[in-house]
Amino acid sequence: MAGQAFDDRDGLIWMDGQLLPWRDAKVHVLTHAMHYGSAVFEGERAYGGAIFKSTQHSERLRESARILDFEVPYSAAQIDAAKALVLEKNGFVDAYVRPLAWRGSEMMGVSAQNNTIHLAIAAWVWPSYFDPAQRMKGIRLDIAEYRRPDPATAPSRSKAAGLYMICTISKHKAERKGYADALMLDWQGRVAECTGANVFFVQNGAIHTPTADCFLDGITRQTAIELARRRGFEVVERRIMPDELASFSECFITGTAAEITPVGEIGPHHYKPGTITSTLIDDYTAEVKPKSKAA
């Protein structure tokens, strides 16, 4: 499906309780979400036919909507069932899953108290987020101009569509310069995250990662921390300043799309994927595989 437009594919998309032919899953141009960013979403992966931490993602979708002052009209269990149905009816085993909830088109203006809340779920085959040949060597990151906003000025705990505009701009600029992605600082100039993934560093055998207080505490981030501690690695969540980037030996990023991806370069700083990174990649791969049920 490489290069195929996302609005012109075969398959089925679940939308407001119905499975629709892929090309028929449409919204009106005067939908509130398109004009005011009033939409939330999740990115999930299915491995062997099972969505990894599906319920946790469904609960976060509902919480993201609540932060944006609307309620998804389906329970987490109903969302889980709809996602499983989308996988089944499309015949997918390993796939990326994208639930999206948004305000509809009854009212057009900043206020949209009476707009219908819609939910759609699509899935498609999406292998590695980065070039597989480059990925295990360590991807290259630029340093973004835009910063993650002060949480007093934006709903940073929500996976809100509008918060990703500065990510798109930053990733575009990085790609034009030959980088795979960009590292973003926060509003106080501290290391935050990449445009769609959390970041980790290794220093003297310990893992360091920025405190997730102005950006999303990713589900893959949480999983990586759990796996590291299970291995006995020390994990330190703290403020990390840009002038520390030269002091780390390894770096990797985490996200549903990125999974665990080594970083080889951030601007002028270079890293070599090492034992801790490779161990966590292997552990994550084992963790996401569906567990065999006892006979």
Q: How far apart are CA 122 and CA 105, in angstroms?
A: 21
Q: Which residues of the chain have pLDDT under 50?
A: 1, 294-295
pLDDT at 106: 94
Q: Are strands 18-21 and 269-270 parallel, antiparallel or unpaired?
A: unpaired
- Active site residues per annotation: 159
Q: What is the mean pLDDT of the chain?
A: 94
Phi then psi dihedrals of residue 72, to 5 deg: -70, 125
Q: Which domains, from first to last, does the chain contain?
A: 12-124 (3.30.470.10), 132-288 (3.20.10.10)
| pLDDT one-digit tens code per residue, 196-218 | 999 999 999 999 999 999 999 99
| pLDDT one-digit tens code per residue, 48-78 | 999 999 999 999 999 999 999 999 999 999 9
